[in-house]
Amino acid sequence: MTPIIDVQQVNKAFGGLRVINDGSIQVTKGSITGMIGPNGAGKSTLFNLIAGALTPDSGRVLLDGEDITALSANARFHKGLLRTFQIAHEFSHMSALENLMMVPSHQPGENLFTTWFKPRLVREHDAKVRRRALEVIDFIGLYHVRNELAGNLSGGQKKLLELGRTMMTDAKVVLLDEIAAGVNRTLLGDLIGNIERLNQEMGYTFLVIEHDMDMIARLCDPVIVLAQGSVMMEGNIDDVQNNPEVIEAYFGGSAA
Ligand SMILES: Nc1ncnc2c1ncn2[C@@H]1O[C@H](COP(=O)(O)OP(=O)(O)OP(=O)(O)O)[C@@H](O)[C@H]1O
Ligand SMILES: [Mg+2]
């Protein structure tokens, strides 16, 4: 089967520093694939190369078999490749529900022509977006705070809202970079449950960067280990945690 994400021998340097060295990873459609590695290994950089925030010096990125290396982040977004972002400052004064309704899509309301000449179409579309936003906010368990300003939500609730934003579009692949950081155990359980449901019920594929090994163990198979800009190994969580090279990379051998 064609991998949904296929990163082929990608290189990226910042100044003289080579951060991604011949990075090649494949993500299977329908999987929740984990990515771990020491600080500075290049995980977030690789995400940015996949999402289009960065362009590789060489190599290719394919989405479902299509070469997307030259496409902008926005074009990739519209193809269903999403990464979560922290709720931007300018959205913190809008309600949780409005934050979901703001997610860009092909909205007729944004086109001046349709706004002026087809107001009924715009109204119908807005009503549809609102219905969808209400469904999503219920799904992520934030219905009770739907009218609260996003800026007043707790850290964990903001993470749930970020995940909710990915559900406002037809996402195929969602990239999650350390969403568990700073989230309490109860909300983390909700977050994990939501990711599993999106995966199983809606067919989302996830690529998950996480330092929290419990979360990786609960959610991810396979797990890719990145070290110094290259893939060190890929396997299930047990293979990874028992691999001497991985232990060395994380603990400098002291754990052996
Ligand atoms: N825009 C940039 N300019 C210069 N160097 C950068 C830039 N972005 C990242 N780097 C460097 O690239 C290396 C990899 O960074 P990256 O953020 O990808 O690591 P990471 O694996 O996500 O680490 P962490 O687990 O700490 O988040 C680091 O040495 C970092 O300093
Ligand atoms: Mg990072």
Summarised one tens digit per residue, pLDDT across range 65-110 is 999 999 999 899 889 998 876 666 668 899 999 999 988 665 545 5
From 7, 12, 25, 44, give the residue whose CB has the most ligand 1 atoms within 8 Å, as the site to mutate: 44
Mean pLDDT of 171-189: 86
Mean pLDDT of 111-115: 57
* Ligand 1 atom with minimal separation from the 178 CA: 27
- The pLDDT assigned to 115 comes to 59
Reference 35, options 247, 222, 249; nearest CA is 222
- The pLDDT assigned to 108 comes to 47
- Where does residue 100 rank: exposed (0-12), middle (13-18), buried (19+ CB within 10 A)? buried
CA dihedral of residues 127, 128, 134, 139 (deg, nearest 10):
180
- The pLDDT assigned to 256 comes to 41
Nearest residue (by CA) to ligand 1, atom 27, is 39
CA 109 to each of CA 88, 99, 134, 234: distance values in angstroms, whole numbers, following the listed order: 22, 16, 19, 45
- The pLDDT assigned to 255 comes to 44
CATH 3.40.50.300 fits 1-80+171-256, yes or no: yes
Least confident of 43-52, 72-81, 115-124, 162-171: 115-124
Least confident of 30-44, 115-129, 152-166, 203-217: 115-129
* 255 or 53, higher pLDDT: 53
DSSP conformation class of 90: G
CA 233 to each of CA 20, 151, 243, 249: distance values in angstroms, whole numbers, following the listed order: 15, 40, 9, 11
Q: What is the mean pLDDT of the chain?
A: 88
* Ligand 1 atom with minimal separation from the 47 CA: 18
- The pLDDT assigned to 12 comes to 98
Spacing, Cα 109 to ligand 1 middle (Å)? 38
Q: Using 50, 70 and 90 to split pLDDT, how confident is the model at 153?
A: very high
- The pLDDT assigned to 183 comes to 79
Spacing, Cα 163 to ligand 2 middle (Å)? 18
The Cα 136–Cα 237 span in angstroms is: 31
Question: Which part of the chain has CATH 3.40.50.300?
Answer: 1-80+171-256
* 247 or 251, higher pLDDT: 247
In this structure, the residues whose C-beta lies within 6 A of any atom of ligand 1 are 14, 19, 37, 39-45
The Cα 37–Cα 82 span in angstroms is: 22
Nearest residue (by CA) to ligand 1, atom 13, is 40
* Ligand 1 atom with minimal separation from the 229 CA: 14
* 9 or 110, higher pLDDT: 9
* Ligand 1 atom with minimal separation from the 41 CA: 21
DSSP conformation class of 180: T
Least confident of 36-40, 61-65, 216-220, 251-255: 251-255
